[in-house]
Structures are given as structure tokens and as C-alpha cells.
């Protein structure tokens, strides 16, 4: 199964997603409704009850663009993903308990972004995939990773 996910396929999927977002933003920018682009909607949501979006963008930024060389959880590559899901769910339910008019302060947004960047950098880094997916020393891989 890993033979199917080549770097070229990942590149094409990424480009397709980016093109869809850009085209959608352009189309929404020229319609009759003001401030209804994807960017404006995400900013509105992240400044309100869905403030966990800021944390997730920080995690993705740290995961893709930063990164540590040594994994914290060794070959348990799935553990950081489960932790992100749990943290995001907790933040989501905290936000759902807030009133509709709730607005999060800018200082807390910065704190969420920096915390997400640190999590993506130290805990869920993409830089140590060679160590995690080394077939000779790792026994905790999914079945489709077996040689």
C-alpha cells in the first residue's frame, strides 16, 4: 500500500487542494456577499467559539515547516495524532460552552498558535520519519508497512 502513496501522488493531491481553495476564494470574492471567502470565514470562526483552529494551524505549521530530529515517542507514530485529536476535542467542547458572542483575546490566540507550533515541532515532527519508519529496527508499524 505504501507503494501507492508515492511523492508524486502526494504532490498532485496537495496541488489539487490548493487550487480548489484558491479558485473558491476567487469565486467567493466576486459574488454579491461581502466577507464570505474561506479566509474570512476561518478568521471569524477562530476568533470566536472555534478558537481551536488557531492551535491546529500552529500544529500543522510546526509539523510541516519545523521539526525535531529525534521523535519523543519513538516508534509510536500514532500517539501524537491521537493526542492532537483529544486536545482539539477538549478545546472544541470548551468553545461550544461559550456564548455565541464570545471573542477570544489576541494574547490567547498567540499563545494557542505558539503552543501548536511547539507541539508540531517537538511532538509531531515530520523530520524524523526515517527513524520512525526504519524497517530494520521497528516492530510497531501498521501491517501495510511490513516489507
- Give the pLDDT confidence of 87-116 residue by residue, as tens digits: 999 999 998 888 877 888 889 999 999 999
- Which pTM does this prediction carry? 0.68
Helix 52-65 and helix 38-47, axial crossing angle in degrees, nearest 10: 120
Output the CA angle 42-48-51, nearest 5 degrees.
70
Helix %, strand %, coil % of the chain (to 5): 60, 0, 40
Looking at residue 90, its pLDDT comes to 93
Least confident of 13-17, 28-32, 46-50, 128-132: 128-132
Amino acid at each position: 500500500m505504501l507503494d501507492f502513496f508515492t511523492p508524486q501522488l502526494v504532490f498532485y493531491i496537495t496541488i489539487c487542494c490548493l487550487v480548489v481553495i484558491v479558485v473558491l476564494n476567487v469565486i467567493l470574492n466576486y459574488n454579491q456577499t461581502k466577507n464570505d471567502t474561506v479566509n474570512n470565514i476561518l478568521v471569524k470562526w477562530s476568533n470566536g467559539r472555534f478558537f481551536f483552529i488557531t492551535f491546529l494551524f500552529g500544529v500543522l505549521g510546526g509539523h510541516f515547516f519545523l521539526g525535531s530530529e529525534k521523535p519523543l515517542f519513538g516508534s509510536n507514530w500514532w500517539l501524537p495524532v491521537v493526542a492532537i485529536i483529544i486536545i482539539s476535542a477538549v478545546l472544541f467542547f470548551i468553545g461550544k460552552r461559550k456564548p455565541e458572542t464570545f471573542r477570544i483575546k489576541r494574547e490567547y490566540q498567540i499563545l494557542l498558535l505558539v503552543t501548536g507550533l511547539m507541539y508540531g515541532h517537538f511532538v509531531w515532527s515530520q523530520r524524523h520519519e526515517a527513524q520512525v519508519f526504519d524497517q530494520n529496527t521497528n516492530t510497531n508499524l501498521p501491517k501495510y508497512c511490513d516489507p
